[in-house]
């Protein structure tokens, strides 16, 4: 994802060569009204909307291929299995993993992190071992490690960040010790928009003998992901933030690590043989995929990846960079508005507070105008505590948003200020 450009260089319009209107036509929900006004959807960090290609792919599966996979010799099962495993190959290529055996389908980023915490952490951590995470993590990259610390006696260490929302890398280096076993870091903060230096963080973790897990939920839809170039040990993301279905996600793990880890859940499809005396487990990736999976979700995720690659992640990144710069300039013009998260390397997230107006009131006032933004702590309560605020309002952008929608957001915020003055 391209970083936010300096204020003095910010453009006043988004990339003119990017045909946003043509792309918006691919998303049916963007054309429905809300409260008699056109929907302006600015909650993409929570979930993205789905293009017609994804919707039609899921519909086609249920109408023509619906069956269980891996088990059937009949035509429908063979077709569904081929589509599902084909989606796994699409994910592999999308993040440049070496092997489809390194691609584990989960319910989402949260389950992916819990899988690593439970399977890797519970089997390896001992009293006094240390887990290092950052102060801007989503709850899903905090709570699983707290649970494992309670169970194993390991200790959680937290990297602080400055007032702009940037990690204090000198403090991170000091936290790394011979007892560090795992470093967990969010690629892009969902509450601040900060793009973290994950390549450097992974390298530093490895220099201290630790493995590195990256929460890539907020990154993968906005910039190219190369797990081999990053040298990530684990990388997690969700389909629903990638213009795909809910309930499907991915855990990438290096093959050697996954092979050494015990199963996360027991059941069908993750076994090689079962007797009452002993069970042997299936090969990767199936060892970690117990039971009937979210078949339509996996196939839909593959369709979402096809769609994104057709649009082009470089083009998306360039357009979103300009749109973020435009939106930042428009919002900072508003008296009494303070952006929370102003890192030099920043993604398409604008969290803000207004003097004397609660974020929930801001959200309701904007909703009356058909504008959807997120309000609350965004599952990042430690971030809110760091800034001594209860919550923020958050507008998060995607490539189907446009400058006129940003203008409407700015007008809506000004209207809220007048309403609650």
Query: Is 157 within 8 Å of 175 (Cβ atoms)?
Result: yes
Instruction: Name the 3-class secondary structure at 162.
Output: coil
Name the token pair of 117.
Answer: 């915490």
Give 338's contacts (C-beta < 8 A, 6+ positions apart): 352, 353, 354, 355
Strand boundaries in 222-342, DSSP class E: 234-238, 249-253, 271-274, 279-281, 337-339
379 as an active site residue: the answer is yes
Place of tokens 């905090």: 142
Q: What is the CA radius of gyration of the chain?
A: 22
3-state helix, strand, coil in the chain (%, to 5): 45, 20, 40
- Residues 30, 53, 143, 379: which is the catalytic one? 379
Are 238 and 108 in contact by the 8 Å Cβ rule? The answer is yes
- Among the listed residues 335, 333, 328, the one whose alpha carbon sits nearest the alpha carbon of residue 351: 328
Count CB neighbours of 105 within 10 A. Answer: 25
Can you tell me which residue has the tokens 């992901």? 225
C-alpha dihedral, 12 to 18 to 19 to 23, nearest 10°: -110
Catalytic residues: 379
């Amino acid at each position: 994802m391209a970083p936010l450009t300096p204020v003095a260089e910010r453009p006043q319009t988004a990339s003119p060569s990017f045909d946003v209107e043509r792309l918006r036509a691919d998303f049916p929900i963007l054309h429905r009204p809300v409260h008699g006004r056109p929907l302006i959807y600015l909650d993409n960090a929570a979930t993205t909307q789905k293009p017609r290609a994804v919707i039609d792919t899921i519909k086609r599966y249920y109408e023509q291929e619906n069956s269980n996979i891996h088990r059937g010799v009949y035509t429908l099962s063979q077709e569904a299995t081929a589509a599902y495993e084909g989606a796994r190959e699409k994910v592999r290529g999308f993040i440049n993993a070496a092997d489809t055996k390194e691609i584990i389908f989960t319910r989402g980023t949260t389950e992916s992190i819990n899988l690593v915490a439970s399977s890797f952490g519970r089997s390896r951590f001992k009293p006094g071992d240390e887990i290092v995470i950052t102060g801007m993590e989503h709850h899903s990259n905090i709570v699983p490690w707290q649970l494992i610390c309670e169970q194993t006696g390991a200790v959680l260490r937290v990297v602080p960040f400055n007032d702009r929302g940037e990690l204090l890398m000198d403090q991170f280096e000091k936290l790394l010790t011979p007892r560090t076993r795992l470093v967990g870091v969010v690629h892009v903060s969902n509450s601040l928009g900060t793009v973290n230096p994950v390549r450097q963080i992974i390298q530093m973790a490895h220099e201290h003998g630790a493995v590195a897990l990256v929460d890539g939920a907020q990154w993968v839809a906005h910039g190219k992901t190369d797990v081999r170039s990053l040298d990530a040990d684990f990388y997690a993301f969700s389909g629903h933030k990638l213009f795909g279905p809910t309930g499907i996600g991915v855990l990438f793990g290096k093959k050697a690590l996954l092979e050494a880890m015990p199963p996360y859940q027991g059941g069908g499809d993750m076994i090689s043989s079962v007797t009452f005396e002993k069970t042997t487990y299936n090969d990767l990736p199936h060892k970690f995929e117990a039971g009937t999976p979210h078949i339509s979700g996996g196939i839909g995720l593959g369709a979402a990846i096809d769609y994104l690659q057709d649009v082009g992640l470089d083009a998306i990144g360039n357009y979103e960079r300009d749109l973020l710069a435009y939106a930042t300039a428009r919002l900072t013009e508003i008296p009494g508005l303070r952006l929370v998260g102003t890192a030099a390397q920043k993604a398409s997230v604008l969290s803000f507070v207004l003097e004397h107006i609660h974020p929930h009131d801001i959200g309701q006032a904007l909703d009356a105008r058909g504008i959807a933004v997120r309000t609350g702590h965004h599952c990042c309560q430690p971030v809110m505590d760091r800034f001594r605020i209860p919550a923020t309002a958050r507008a998060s952008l995607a490539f189907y948003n446009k400058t006129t929608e940003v203008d409407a957001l700015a007008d809506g915020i000004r209207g809220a200020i007048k309403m609650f003055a």
